[in-house]
Amino acid sequence: MMASHHGEREAPHPSSPDVTAWPHASRRIANPRRRVQAVRADALHPAVRLADADPTLAATDAAGQLVARTLWLEPGRWDPLGGARYDGWLGMLVLEGFIVREVEVEGLRCCELLGPGDVLRPWDEDEAGATIACRTAWRLLEHTRLALLDHDFGRRAARHPDVTAELMHRTLRRSRSQSVLLAVTQARRADVRLRALFWHLADRWGHVTPDGVVLPLRLTHTVIAQLTGLRRPSVSLSLAELERSGEIVRRSKSSWRLAHAFAP
């Protein structure tokens, strides 16, 4: 992935929030007894060409002409709203890093894993008028870089339907991915759920090597449990068995290896 360089801030559009001010205050999300970790946002980075920052978007004819401001965020709890306005924004495009979107309904929790290539629209959460109370929280698993598809970007992108069509495809891909994970949770055996989850994630972000498919993800057993609908102890026991067989091996805190011989 392309590295970002520091530079001068751009003057934001009047409808664009002061993104450097979002995360400094401690706020309560999901659990009212738990304070959100203060996450420091670095200064806005210079605009990047989408074709340079996202290889898939480089295939579109106009990606080389479109630029977007970028923002680096540190790991921890994240409140992307903070009272800001997002009039005319298309969303936020993940360039680097991984984000967990946690959803809690009457004490039951699940999560969605977002990474490079995904488009976020956190301001579209439909919680206020819902019959069933639903709480949403965001957590950054590692240093994360976002492209801000703000009002100015949207105005420029409107002249390039192939780019906006690709961004719309990214948003629909999230719902399809969640449907796959929902199907995975129907499996009775824990090892079947874990195997399906890891290969599903490998299809998105894995790298093929001679020793297997490497998945560069900082996944805790708690996150894996929420993704698969399993209890954490079941995840730990099943992963230990899969590692002993060499099927799924944790190489480090932020990397897993899936053996070719066990591919579906």
Interacting residues of 76 by C-beta distance below 8 A, sequence separation 6+ = 37, 38, 39, 139, 140
The pLDDT tens digits for 61-97 are: 666 778 899 999 999 999 887 766 778 899 999 999 9
Domain 189-262 has CATH 1.10.10.10: yes
Which pLDDT score is estimated for 223?
94
SS (H, E, C) 164-195: HHHHHHHHHHHHHHHHHHHHHCCCCCHHHHHH
- Region 110-124 average pLDDT: 92
DSSP string, 92-122: EEEEES-EEEEEEETTEEEEEEE-TT-EE-G
pTM as predicted: 0.79
- Burial tier of 210 (Cβ tally within 10 Å: 0-12, 13-18, 19+): exposed
Q: How many CB atoms sit inside 10 A of residue 179's CB?
A: 10
Beta bridge partners of 104: 109, 135
Pick the CATH number of 19-181 from 3.40.50, 3.30.43, 1.10.357, 2.60.120: 2.60.120
The pLDDT tens digits for 122-171 are: 888 766 677 888 888 999 999 999 999 999 999 888 888 888 888 999 98
Question: Structural domain boundaries of the chain?
Answer: 19-181, 189-262
- For the record, the structure tokens of 183 come out as 């199907």
